[in-house]
Structure 1
């Protein structure tokens, strides 16, 4: 199969990954309206083509929170990546290291921080929540420091869990329920099943064995169910800031008022994000609220975004509307589920190539030149800066 776009990787991943894990990645909460809006609102933005511009010496290279990157794209933290493909987090980290973009590892990964650190040479980023067990979070942050992680991403929009209907119907839990339908589906995915048999990494490596009383997936399920903290406040952000001396990125900002609080918190960047449409269904798309947030705080804190990014053109549009960096989650998971490390690399290649060509067609040769001038006036009013 010739892979030319992210959609090709999605189709292949759907064939190869068990339904419960594919659906976990490719779904939103409730009616999935925000999940769909993340993509649809990107498509509504039109680009302004320019001609007779010298397009030699093009480059997509730039920086995100002071780190050199091959393009302004990082991998968003995604739980259960190691269930899209065996040893998934290690494979993604290696692909990112070779390509020159940041990999953000999730607390809810299958592989552990130490697994990824041992398999890579360059620092990666790590994502945390504020959980009720503050001692565990302190130890987790200390482990991230020991692994030489170069940035910490703090997720703010998962105090309580959104209702995700596909996960409920599939029986996705920790551990997954071995229903007859799930077992039959596994039998139809021999490539995935054989790879899983070859690895020892099947649990949540950052948690199991690192919390007293949590020694297997059964006890993990009980612990996780009571750990997300609905009492999270900006005082907790200040607490994490004191614990973490490196770059701090706040994920899950959707409102200008919250963006101002993030800018005042001492964090280095914020991520405009609706959690991929997996939390508040009916929330605005990330790209729609990005311009207002960037205009309000973009001089005080680095503004990034995620949600609905499926192409290099989406990256270009986000940059034009004020983002300094863009994150991909599902686009990466499609590649991982389809082809492992090679699939992640292919996803990154596709997005960089599309970004380079689209930037050139709009008369820009460097990422730093991208501004609102690349957006056509026929675009929605919210996309015109």
Structure 2
């Protein structure tokens, strides 16, 4: 296919970009400066990015119910704060994740193709994570090499991995991660089959774009993003070592990953790595217990951001049952729908050791590269510290220890009149979630 990159347009535009890009990107920088929360960053990203790119980042499977449930689950829990607790800044947000000390209890979860959203890509997010001593998890479908990311982030890093059909490729990725100083390996177990993400085919999603009239029109409406794309060389999936440009991620993924991998394959990977490991994508207590019995050091509770099996449970809702099943000392990581500091606090109080964020920092990246990703983590850091201070706890250790008394499932009332006179009817639940 004859494309601008095939014609060498990027070799010309790279000379134009230094003076043209500041002009085209000025509105995006203005919006980014005014953003005060993650929802604002989402709007900044929507207005800067190509429509199909934003929808790939923002969209989920089928009717997107699972993602809505994940977001709504945090509203089902109340924060029962202490007054006169005598806490002052700075709140101690430090903790450890699978043995690695980190500065904050949240981290950047793995997401594919960062350079799709902004040309600065994974390096921009690694820089943002370094600011707070946050753990960074690199996707197997990254568009930046693990070595380049390591150069930007000297702290603890996870390498996320799928079980590819080519076991030699798996061994190569494992060895490179070890040599590049990655602390732990996270095996994603919920994507043997690729989710039905309907926004993508509706948009004719491909990266780079197909340059249909509709795609060109959307590119003209995203001039800063388009200049980024056309003034830089085409990007590739650097981790898997494929020299082809990154195309439609669904078909690309299907050609590489094994659909039939099992617990036996996971055990094989544990032997190949020989270091700290996490199993990502767990939503059931029995799977969590089996993972620890097999030798995983941590279980990562996740429904893949609602992008895989539609109507899969919200991770926060299954966290208490999994914590009860595996005991108080087992390491549990959680992601899914986290867009507020109070979300982080509730997950920690309900039993998570650490909390992954995905869309939150991707919105920042798409809104403004390293500056946007940094602002996303700034927002989460500020909100988490504020929530803990208002709650009356001075550290993550104290929050997790006192969690059951501080976070309770929301009590809902029987039919009654609101101040406006309107009636509402919702059921009573006990703090443990039992209907009463």
Q: What TM-score does the superposition give when structure 2 sets the normalisation length? A: 0.83
1:311 aligns with 2:359: no
SS at match of 1:331: helix
Larger Rg: 2
1:19 aligns with 2:19: no
The structure 1 residue matched to 2:97, chosen from 32, 55, 64, is 64
Instruction: Give the deviation of 1:178 after TM superposition.
Output: 2.9
For residue 109 of structure 2, what is the aligned residue in structure 1? 76
For residue 40 of structure 2, what is the aligned residue in structure 1? 8
Instruction: Give the deviation of 1:176 after TM superposition.
Output: 4.4
Instruction: Give the deviation of 1:301 after TM superposition.
Output: 2.7
Answer whether contact 1:375 1:384 (CA < 8 A) is retained. no
For residue 243 of structure 1, what is the aligned residue in structure 2? 272
Give distance in 2, aligned partners of 1:365 and 1:17.
39
Moved more, 148-157 or 294-303: 294-303
Cα RMSD (Å) = 2.1
Give distance in 1, aligned partners of 2:307 and 2:362.
15
Q: How does 1:225-236 map to 2 (within 5 A)?
A: 225-236=254-265
SS at match of 1:340: helix
The structure 2 residue matched to 1:30, chosen from 59, 62, 65, is 62
Q: How does 1:82-93 map to 2 (within 5 A)?
A: 82-93=115-126
CA 1:137–1:25: 2 relative to 1, 3 Å: same
The structure 1 residue matched to 2:368, chosen from 327, 335, 339, is 339
Give distance in 2, aligned partners of 1:217 and 1:339.
22
The structure 2 residue matched to 1:111, chosen from 144, 154, 158, is 144
Gap runs ≥5 in structure 1: none
Answer whether contact 1:267 1:301 (CA < 8 A) is retained. no
For residue 265 of structure 1, what is the aligned residue in structure 2? 294
CA 1:122–1:61: 2 relative to 1, 3 Å: closer
Give distance in 2, aligned partners of 1:220 and 1:32.
19
CA 1:172–1:218: 2 relative to 1, 3 Å: closer
Partner deviation per Cα, 1:40-73 (whole Å, 9 max, x = no partner): 1112211112211111352111111121212111
Instruction: Give the deviation of 1:221 after TM superposition.
Output: 7.9
How many residue pairs get matched? 381
Gap runs ≥5 in structure 2: 1-30, 413-428
Q: How does 1:138-153 map to 2 (within 5 A)?
A: 138-153=171-186
Answer whether contact 2:111 2:138 (CA < 8 A) is retained. yes
SS at match of 2:79: coil
Answer whether contact 1:65 1:247 (CA < 8 A) is retained. yes
1:41 aligns with 2:89: no
For residue 165 of structure 2, what is the aligned residue in structure 1? 132
Moved more, 49-58 or 304-313: 49-58
Instruction: Give the deviation of 1:245 after TM superposition.
Output: 2.3
Q: What TM-score does the superposition give when structure 1 sets the normalisation length? A: 0.93
CA 1:348–1:216: 2 relative to 1, 3 Å: closer
1:98 aligns with 2:131: yes
Answer whether contact 1:110 1:204 (CA < 8 A) is retained. yes
Moved more, 374-383 or 284-293: 374-383
The structure 2 residue matched to 1:204, chosen from 233, 237, 240, is 237
Give distance in 2, aligned partners of 1:219 and 1:328.
24
Give distance in 2, aligned partners of 1:248 and 1:382.
36
Moved more, 187-196 or 346-355: 187-196
Answer whether contact 1:141 1:244 (CA < 8 A) is retained. yes
CA 1:146–1:291: 2 relative to 1, 3 Å: same
Give distance in 2, aligned partners of 1:289 and 1:269.
16
Instruction: Give the deviation of 1:383 after TM superposition.
Output: 6.3
Answer whether contact 2:88 2:389 (CA < 8 A) is retained. no
CA 1:217–1:332: 2 relative to 1, 3 Å: closer
CA 1:218–1:60: 2 relative to 1, 3 Å: closer
Give distance in 1, aligned partners of 2:39 and 2:193.
31
**Higher RCO (C-alpha under 8 Å, 6+ residues apart):** 1
